[in-house]
Structure 1
Amino acid sequence: MNLKEIYSQIQTVLDRKKMQILTEYYPQFFSPALFYLDKQADSRREDILKILCRKLRNEHFVSSHFLDEVLKREQAASTAFGQIAIPHSMKMDCEKTGLAIAISPGGIQWGTQRVHIVLLIAINEKNSHLFKELYEALILLFSDPSILEVLRQCKTFEEFTSVIFSYTM
């Protein structure tokens, strides 16, 4: 076995561990109450962020200033990566850690890009150690273009969950 093959196998093991973290913490951080299906054809980033922040606030994940912090982060640098955006606050001062999901078959104008999936992350300081691992797992998962096409078609949280688990197993 050459060095390149060894590095490849190590990366495979590390990637598998990231997917296990996502699978393990999924029930704790994801909830049907934090799911939104955007049926508009011309949605804007700010509108979607307001909706998702309201959902997080209604479920006692964040305070009233969370939206302002998320918008500050977006002004510093866009959180869009291809068809997905993973916005978050720079502060880890949320009441609970969780992710609000928006799926938009028609797309959302996100700065200069158009995204179809938004995962708004709220982080509580006690879970800050998980943030990097969870973020990396999400990026790894969504780097596969085929999952994005399937997720774009999801109409419910249950469908979204089923797709996520089918790709992480």
Structure 2
Amino acid sequence: MKITEFFQNELNVTNLDVESKEEIFKVLFKKLYDNGFVKESFLDAIIKREKSFPTGLQLNKYNVAIPHTDPEHVNKPAIAVATLLNPVTFKNMANPVEDVKVSIVFMMALNEAHSQVEMLQQMVQLIQNDSVLEKIINAKGGGEIIDIVKNASFILN
């Protein structure tokens, strides 16, 4: 399955002005829930999982977070994206005592456990490209984010 199939215009938010990861989670959850992708239990599951297994990633130029949770909270797979007006603090996935100032959040809603590893691998390939992340940060809307990801899909082959 290609990662590009999981991005939907209505699930993306650009220049989100929030102060905490919980606020980001609520905004992206609402988009996923209102569009039928996740169950009501998804938000609590994301928040709980983030406390035990942080998802902030320290990268070269732009830091990202990839929150996700167990498949039983998901109706159909999707990836919701938020670009942040101001970076928000997440705990570092590699070293949970460290903070990471995150500028882009990719919330993954996957309904099959085995697909998480494959999607995370494709996501890592995508986020390791600084120019792709910069284009996503500068995107003016959800449709533009989808175009950027589709144009970057050559990276994922």
After TM superposition, the runs of 4+ consecutive aligned structure 1 residues lying more than 4 A away are none
Kindly provide the amino acid, as one letter, of the partner of residue 63 in structure 1: K
Per-residue displacement from partner, 1:132-151 (whole Å, max 9, x unpaired)?
11110111111122222221
Task: Compute the TM-score of the two structures, normalised by the length of structure 2.
Answer: 0.82
**What residue is the counterpart of 2:40 in the other structure?**
64
Aligned to 1:37: 14
The aligned counterpart of 2:108 is: 121
Amino acid aligned to 1:102: A
Counterpart in the other structure of 1:85: 65
Q: How far off its partner does 1:63 sit?
A: 1.3
Q: Does 1:108 align with 2:88?
A: yes
Contact map agreement 2:4 2:150 (CA 8 A) in 1: no
More helix by share: 1
Change (3 A) 1:60 1:39: closer
Structure 1 residue ranges without an equivalent (≥5): 1-20
CA contact (8 A) 1:105 1:153 kept: no
Give, as a single letter, the amino acid of the residue that structure 2 aligns with 1:59.
N
**Residue number in structure 2 paired with 1:162:** 147
Count residues in correspondence: 142
- Residue 97 in structure 1 maps to residue 74 in structure 2: no
Q: Distance in 2 between matches of 1:100 and 1:166?
A: 18
1:136 aligns with 2:130: no
Matched residue type, 2:11: L
- CA displacement at 1:60 relative to structure 2: 1.1
| Structure of larger gyration radius | 1
